[in-house]
Amino acid sequence: MEPAVDSAAIIANARALVPEIRAAADTIESVRRLPQGLVDRMSEAGTFRIAMPKAWGGPELTPLDQIEVIETLSRADASVGWCASILSDSGFYAAYLEEEVARKVFRGLDCKTAGMLAPVGRAEVVEGGYRVSGDWAFGSGSLHADVICGGSLLTREGEIVCENDRPTWRVTVFELSDVEIHDTWFVTGLAGSGSNHYSVRDAFVPEERTFDISSGSRRPEPLYQYHGLFFANVPGVPLGVGRAAIDALTEIAVSKRSMPGMKLLRDEYRVRVAAAEAEALLGSARSYVWDVMGDLWETLSRGDHPSLDQRARIALMMIQAYRSAQRAVDLACEAVGADALYRGHPLERIRRDAVALGSHLVHQSKSFAGAGAALLGGDPGPVYF
């Protein structure tokens, strides 16, 4: 593959990878990480550079184009799509650092970044920076990462630093040599994502390699003007998983017969209804993603900041995309019947992956409360969106 520097080429390359990804699915799950050869092919395809700025020679894909890339990969295998979504965030992280520093940290357009933004670490204020220690979970793709980050609460002489009665925190960008990855990812769904725990012990992190996500980007381009775009392409994962379930049902329905009538599944009323409902759910969710994200992108492209109402709808869109995809998966499994319980069945892994996706912050129903408050003109309180 030629190095990809535009949307069309990267999307085409992602589609071309689908047969290879599907062929590696069992290996991906059994080794609990992506095979290095596949990671290399994904780099060649440009899937990790999608958020890199054009000023650096990157493609700087719009959020909708990013979603399409991740959706394509996730349709082939959810763990691959999930890792691509996480590892491709380098351009967003880089946008929060000074240009000179960012260039040193994120070397090359295909630099891969993993880490957890939540401030579970502790960063003790010292001259020139921080002494950081912490244990983070869910380091998806960390075994393949070139850069690893972690959110950390600021402390001074061991006491948490507060502003306006709230703890202050920063994202700390570590030297890879300071990070220890622990083999902890023994799970049911997204088993191939290698989302291991990782830890740092008393590492010095210069001030210049840290940032406050609420302080705003240092880059001028629209893609980096809203912190919620860290999660911009995440909806592509459930959309791809839901589509994979419908694909599997469609293929099975033309050959499997049900008892006792011995009808082909495609000729059964209940299966037809399930297939239609799944398609309508997933299609409407995808349209909602395109509508909400498209509206946000128009706002950012004009140089405006998203309103609280728009931000709330981003949260709702994330949840709705997941819930609709999850229901589409359930409908496909119900239509096929008990066979979908068996390891090796096309729908069995898809169902486990779909359940695991629901654990992520952006898919959890607790975000409804904050979004609802915003839509009703109230104070949503501390929210990720």
CATH number at 30 reads: 1.10.540.10
In a domain, 67, yes or no: yes
Indicate if 38 and 72 belong to the same structural domain.
yes
Same domain, 165 and 38: no
Q: Of 145, 180, 212, which marks where a domain is finished? A: 212
Instruction: Please check whether residue 365 lies inside any domain of the structure.
Output: yes
DSSP assignment of 118-166: EEEEEEEEETTEEEEEEEEEEETTGGG-SEEEEEEEEEETTEEPEETTE
Q: What is the pLDDT, as a whole number, of residue 259? A: 73
Q: Does 278 reside within a domain?
A: yes
Q: Do residues 121 and 77 share a domain? A: no
Q: Say yes or no: 83 and 126 in one domain.
A: no
Reading the block at residue 204, the tokens are 């010095």
Q: Are residues 45 and 130 in the same domain?
A: no
Task: Let me know: does 129 contact 204? Beta carbons within 8 Å.
Answer: yes
The proportion of the chain whose per-residue pLDDT surpasses 90, expressed as a percent, equals 91
Distances (CA, A) of 186 to 34, 138, 180, 246, 337: 15, 12, 18, 28, 27
Q: Considering 94, 129, 148, which residue would you say is the last residue of a domain? A: 94
On whether both 246 and 367 belong to a single domain, the answer is yes
Higher-confidence residue of 342 and 261: namely: 342
Residue 84 has pLDDT above 60, yes or no: yes
CATH number at 241 reads 1.20.140.10
Determine, yes or no, domain membership for 208. yes
The answer to which of 196-200, 236-240, 266-270 has the lowest mean pLDDT is: 266-270
Measured distance CA(145)–CA(116) in Å, rounded: 13
Whether 159 and 281 share a structural domain: no
- Do both 259 and 331 map to the same domain? yes
Q: Could you tell me if residue 100 is inside a domain?
A: no
Domain annotation covers residue 105: no
212, 247, 266 - which closes a domain = 212
Q: State whether 291 and 367 are in the same domain.
A: yes
The span from the CA of 174 to the CA of 93, in Å, is 12
- Let me know whether 201 and 264 are in one domain: no
pTM of the entire structure?
A: 0.95
240: in domain: yes
Tell me what the mean pLDDT of segment 140-147 comes to.
Answer: 97
Please check whether residue 112 is in contact with residue 145, taking contact to mean a CB–CB distance below 8 angstroms.
yes
The answer to whether residue 4 scores a pLDDT higher than 70 is no
Number of domains in the chain: 3
- Residue 29 maps to a domain: yes
| Residues of the domain holding 151 | 112-212
Comparing 263 with 174, which gets the higher pLDDT?
174
Banded model confidence at residue 3, pLDDT cuts 50, 70, 90: low
Alpha carbons within 13 A on the beta-carbon side of 115: 28
Amino acid at 10: I
pLDDT computed for residue 383 by the predictor: 87
Report the first-to-last Cα separation within the chain, whole angstroms.
Answer: 37
